[in-house]
Amino acid sequence: MIPSAFPPKEEIARLTARMLLEIKAVHFNAAEPFILASGLPSPTYIDCRKLISYPRIRSTLMDFMAVTVMRDAGFEAFDNIAGGETAGIPFAALMAERLALPMTYVRKKPKGYGRNARIEGVMSEGDRVLLVEDLTTDGGSKLSFVDAIRETGAECAHTAVIFYYGIFPETVKTLSDHGVALHFLCTWWDVLAEARASDAFDTQTLAEVETFLTNPRAWQAARAKA
């Protein structure tokens, strides 16, 4: 069912952050930092995949994503919803249901047999495709999915995520240079504000997280040398 209520973006961001904290998808640990896929340390980690196990929360967030995309991109802007393998697939399915559109998904690499396809489902030349993922950090991983979509002759000028790190200034430019607009529900700054409001973590941890968010590259460089 297509949502018809359009909460303010600030309220969407606050409630999304609250939900992520409630299900403990947010992890802060400055004493023993997490190691990211890049090999760099971080005092923050988020697991958006947990959302699929919470029906009320996932439903609300997909409503939020649907109204965000419709408000920012247009009410008749898309012909197809594509999920990125693997985390984006369930959210793409839920979005396709809400917007009453076909759903497809994009493999990270060709299947390696049969049709050797990267696109699963029906995607036609000229389709206006919305790429749905769980989150984005610097935007780089989205480009391969976008290129695979465009190779079919379809268009992909928008990507929507639940969570956007919001701390790497190059992200929006990386996507924009590739002709892609980013739509998101909340950032680390929204989570930090809600964590403080709800006393979800101790003051020292939150202070260290803020230091990281303010200048992540410097924080990582200092820890990498330690």
Query: How do residues 142-178 score in pLDDT, each as one tens digit?
Result: 999 999 999 999 999 999 999 999 998 889 999 999 9
Q: Classify residue 1: in a domain, yes or no.
A: no
Query: What is the domain extent for residue 105?
Result: 9-225
- The arithmetic mean of pLDDT across residues 64-76, rounded, is 97
Q: Classify residue 4: in a domain, yes or no.
A: no
Q: Classify residue 18: in a domain, yes or no.
A: yes
Q: Residue 115 above 80 pLDDT?
A: no
23-50 CB burial, b ≥16 within 10 A, e <16: eebbebebeebeeeeeebbbbbebebee
Q: Residue 111 above 90 pLDDT?
A: no
Domain count, the chain: 1
Q: What is the pLDDT of residue 11?
A: 98
User: How far is the C-alpha of 194 from the C-alpha of 182, rounded, in Å?
Assistant: 23
CATH number (domain holding residue 108): 3.40.50.2020
Q: What is the pLDDT of residue 114?
A: 60
Q: Residue 226 above 80 pLDDT?
A: no
